[in-house]
Amino acid sequence: MRRIAVGLSVFALAAGAVSAAEWQALTGEEIARALTDRTLQYENATQAFYASGRTLYNAGTDSWGYWQVRGDQYCSQWPPSGLWDCYDVAAQGQTVRFISADGSFSDGIVVD
């Protein structure tokens, strides 16, 4: 799972009141509200999601890609590849989880 992220401070508003112990699956509309103009912090990287559909991933160097919501999934594309990868998204408090089709996942924390 490469370069994914989301802004979490809006998840309480987007997903409703959720106890700290449970993950809340997000709809496409909630994903868009949660990510647009937000930055996520991963273990060793950050990722910003811009309203323009661009995304900036940094794990020591900048890597620009594209993001969009398709149905109820977050999707990203990283040049030079023209392929889009899509993920289910869930939130728990300030943590956003991107879940791939094989069940693996990546967590990020909203930092703005």
Tokens representing 84 are 């889009």
Q: How far apart are CA 88 and CA 98, in angstroms?
A: 6
State which residues of the chain have pLDDT below 70.
Answer: 1-21
* Phi and psi at residue 25, to the nearest 5°: -65, 140
For the chain, how many helices (H) and strands (E)?
2, 9
Question: Do 11 and 34 meet the contact criterion of CB atoms below 8 Å apart?
Answer: yes
Q: What is the pTM of this model?
A: 0.81
Question: Do 42 and 95 meet the contact criterion of CB atoms below 8 Å apart?
Answer: no
* pLDDT value, residue 8: 36
